Structure 1
Amino acid sequence: MTEAARREDLEARSGSATALLRTVVGAVLRPIGGWMSAAGAVALMSALDVPAATARSSLARLCARGVLVREPRDGVAGYALDPAAVPMLERGDLRIFGQRTAADADRWCLVSFSFPEHQRSRRHQLRTRLAALGCGTVADGLWIGPASLEPELAESVREFGAELFVGARPAAELRAGLSRWYDLDGIRAVHETFLDRFAPAASRLPADPRDAFALWVRVLDEWRVIPYRDPGLPAAGLPDDWPGAASRALFARLRDALQEPAVGYAARSAAGGHPLPGPTVESVASPMRE
């Protein structure tokens, strides 16, 4: 696994302590200056019901993965965002917060590859990467994805020596095609799970900033995998009762309500005895940007 792949960890699941910490890093560490004290990091994870020992293990894990670096300031132990991780987080911004639903007439990307048997591990790695990026399977060595995935796919095919074709127009009827290429039942399930879990929260938003921080991190941690499972599949190819639009609307509503108080709470808590600059209006508006 390359250093970049280890850092990005596209297969990471939501809900674990390390996943929650990764979400904290992506969601609030940049807006508050890119540094948090060790005590402040443990305090932020405590708001997510993560014990201190588990939080420290997760911090060590993200340092080993090249996401954080240990960086004391004025004698205070702490952690800073590794500059090499910024491009990864910015790519995540585009996927997580972008509006990428493909139009019915949009073209598609095709990725073609063939590996000899002695390179079957690389074949498996590429299949795993393509699935994680949101591609579907046409055939064993032929994968498909919306044209919006081109920049991410181009990077992967260069790494693995595959072929990328951009501008394909499926000859098959789109609804029949998507049902073959993608696990639509699985994608529906992640949308519906998000709606079931967080729709009630939208009607009784927390007033306490600590609770707003905890809810926002959990919302974002669960949402962040959905745009990779559903890369903006066109409506014409989906069932009429598809829940994707509803889950996107719910995420946007919760973001509007929770993001600013969550970043404000993080700025106060992450200091842990070391003064931090307050978040700017611009950074709170776009928390996943430097």
Structure 2
Amino acid sequence: MALFGIDAGHVRTAVSRLSSDGWLSSTKRGRASYYRLSHVGEDEFLQATQRIYSSIPVRHGALRVALIGPAVTDAAALRTRLKAAGFAPVSPAIHVGLGSPPSELRAAGLFVLTPEEKDQRDLAGAAWRLDEIAQGYRDFIAQFSPLAVLLDRQALKDDEALVARTLLIHAFRRVVLRDPALPADLLPQDWSGEAARALAGRIYAAVVAPSERFLDAHGQNEEGPLPPPDARFHKRFSS
């Protein structure tokens, strides 16, 4: 992690916390410890990878407003189930989603309304905080556009490419994992999600080969050199 200006002490602390939280598992070989994602970590990683590197499928369905009625005995549990069904809160008692919630939630004391078309964009914006996500995309574009221009003129060294790739994906994932993938008519007028994805893909294509060379030359696991990437790796940002 010296490439990123992070000292060994901070790395050990971070790895220890991730292991304690169940995200990493470890294997010892002599005095060396090797860490990998745990089963829980792998599941989360695969879901996030799909969202980061592939175009997000747009969700469909009519916008619905779910109201938690006063007779509900366990509102917290109902809110959790609404979240699992893809609904987002405008307030503790009001949630917004695409399509109707499951019938068992309605039977538990949920009222479902269809908002007027003129109000739907504002409701979606409030529920999913779309203005914040839109600003995140704009910030990403402003931060990484100069790097794209630089890469059009010159290639980075292998270690520089690894740093650039890591920082790129770290910044992009912070925005894209919050993107609810709504239809265009519910998004703010200045939505720049696709422009941000195109920029991320353009930079990634320029740095992935040299960064992989660095990992091949310096990385290893408990069995020796790192194995080659699988087929999914080569499809990143291709769709």
Q: 1:188 to 1:267 in 2, by over 3 A?
A: same
TM-score using structure 2 length: 0.74
Q: Distance in 1 between matches of 2:56 and 2:162?
A: 27
Partner residue of 1:143 out of 80, 95, 100: 95
> Is there any run of 5+ residues in structure 1 with no aligned partner, and where?
1-44
Q: Distance in 1 between matches of 2:235 and 2:202?
A: 15
- Offset at residue 214 of structure 1 (A): 0.9
Residue equivalent to 1:228: 177
Q: Which moved more, 1:247-256 or 1:107-116?
A: 107-116
Query: Does the 8 Å contact 2:88/2:96 carry over to 1?
Result: yes
Q: Distance in 2 between matches of 1:164 and 1:100?
A: 30
Using the aligned pairs only, state the percent identity: 22
Q: Distance in 1 between matches of 2:199 and 2:55?
A: 14
Pick 1 or 2: higher relative contact order, CA cutoff 8 A, min separation 6. Answer: 1
Pair 1:102 & 2:51 matched:
no
Structure 2 counterpart of 1:194, one-letter code: F
- Offset at residue 74 of structure 1 (A): 5.6
Partner residue of 1:279 out of 223, 228, 233: 228
Pair 1:92 & 2:48 matched:
yes
Pair 1:175 & 2:175 matched:
no
Question: Which structure has the larger Rg?
Answer: 2
TM-score using structure 1 length: 0.62
Query: Does the 8 Å contact 2:51/2:176 carry over to 1?
Result: yes
Query: Does the 8 Å contact 2:65/2:114 carry over to 1?
Result: no
| CA offset digits 1:166-209 (Å, max 9, x no partner) | xx975433434334434232122111111111111111135211
Root-mean-square deviation (CA, aligned residues, Å) is: 4.2
Residue equivalent to 2:143: 197
Residue equivalent to 1:76: 32
Partner residue of 2:191 out of 239, 242, 256: 242
Q: Which has the higher strand share?
A: 2
Residue equivalent to 2:159: 210
Query: Does the 8 Å contact 1:259/1:284 carry over to 2?
Result: no
- Offset at residue 124 of structure 1 (A): 11
Query: Does the 8 Å contact 1:216/1:255 carry over to 2?
Result: yes
Q: Distance in 1 between matches of 2:220 and 2:94?
A: 50
| CA offset digits 1:94-148 (Å, max 9, x no partner) | 2222322537x6445776657999978x569949x949x985434533323457x
Partner residue of 2:19 out of 63, 85, 92: 63
Q: Paired residues, what number?
A: 229
Query: Does the 8 Å contact 1:109/1:164 carry over to 2?
Result: no
Query: Does the 8 Å contact 2:96/2:124 carry over to 1?
Result: no
Pair 1:253 & 2:202 matched:
yes
Q: 1:54 to 1:273 in 2, by over 3 A?
A: same
Q: 1:278 to 1:87 in 2, by over 3 A?
A: closer
Q: Which moved more, 1:172-181 or 1:63-72?
A: 172-181
